[in-house]
Amino acid sequence: MVSTMVKAIDSVTRAMQVLEKLQKTSPLSLSELQRCTGINKATLLRILKTLSLSGWVVKSLSENKYSLSSSVLEDTQPKSQEARLAEAGAPVLDDLYQRLNWPSDIAIRDGDRMKLVETTRNRTSFLLNRSSLCRPEFLYSGVGRCFLAFCNSDERADVIHTLRKLPNKEGKLAHDGIWLSQMIEQTKLLGYGAQQVSYYNSRSVNGLPIEAIAVPISESDGTLIGCLSLTWPQGSIELSHLEKRIVPILKEATIQIVENMP
C-alpha cells in the first residue's frame, strides 16, 4: 500500500514539474522538455498525453511543441488571439487531414502578407514549402483573397493601401481597382478564395502547380478572425467534387474552430 502511494505521488510530482517548465518557457519540444526535466522519454510522453487529455497542455501540429492551454493561462498569462486560434484549430486540422488526406492551414493577416499559424503541411511530401513560416501573398493566394473578400471594409482598405506601396508585381496589381473589385465579388459569390493556378510561389516538389482554396473563419457576429485553406496537386480534385463535398466540410470545420476558441 505504501509503495503504491509513493508511485502516485511521484507521478504527480513529475507532472507538476512539466507544467512549471511550460509555464516559465513555452512552447517546448519533447527533447527540450526531456533536457530540462530529466524525465525519460517514455514517461514524459505518458505525462504529456495525460495532461493533454485533461486539457492542461496542447501540442502544435506545425512545430511539434507543447504549451499550456489557454484555459490554464486565462487568469495569469492570457494567450493572444493568434495563439488561441492555433490551439483551437489544431484538432480540427488533424481531423481534416484524416478525412481528406490533403494538408490544410489556418492563416491570419500579417502586415502586407498572410501568415500560417497552424498547418498540417509537414505530413505531406508534395509541397516545397511545408513550414509555418510560409507567408502567402494577398492577391495570388487562396487565403489572401479570402481574407480580402470577407474582412470588414476598413481593414480591406488598409490592406489595399499597404499593397499599393509595394514595389513589386503585387503592388502594381493592387492599383487595378476594376480587377480587385471583380476578384472580391467573385470570391464572395463562391464563398471561398481560390488560389491563382499560376501563382509562382506555389509549386510542388516536381515543379508542377498546386491548387488551394480558403474559407473564412468568422465569429458569430461575422467578424473575420482568419482563413482555413486546403491544398492539393493540380488536377487531383474535380470542381464539382470540390464545391459539393470539400467546401461544405471546410465550412463545418470553421464552425468547430470557433466553438473551440478558449
Q: Is the pTM of this model over 0.85?
A: no
Q: Do residues 147 and 127 lie in contact, with contact meaning Cβ atoms separated by under 8 Å? A: no
Contact 38, 26 (CB under 8 A): no
**Residue in the structure block whose three cell numbers are 487565403:** 143
3-state secondary structure of 118: strand
In whole angstroms, what is the distance from residue 134 CA to residue 234 CA? 20
Question: Could you list the pLDDT tens digit for every one of the 262 residues in the chain?
Answer: 444 444 455 777 888 888 888 888 778 888 888 888 888 888 888 888 888 877 788 888 878 888 888 766 665 565 788 888 998 999 999 999 999 999 999 999 999 999 999 999 888 887 766 666 688 999 999 999 999 999 999 999 999 999 999 999 999 999 999 999 999 999 999 999 999 876 655 666 677 788 999 999 999 899 999 999 999 988 899 999 999 999 999 999 999 999 998 7
What domains can be seen in the chain, in order of their start residue? 2-73 (1.10.10.10), 81-260 (3.30.450.40)
Q: Is 227 helix (H, G, I), strand (E, B) or coil?
A: strand
40: left (phi over 0), alpha (psi -120 to 50) or beta: beta
Q: Which amino acid is at 225?
A: I
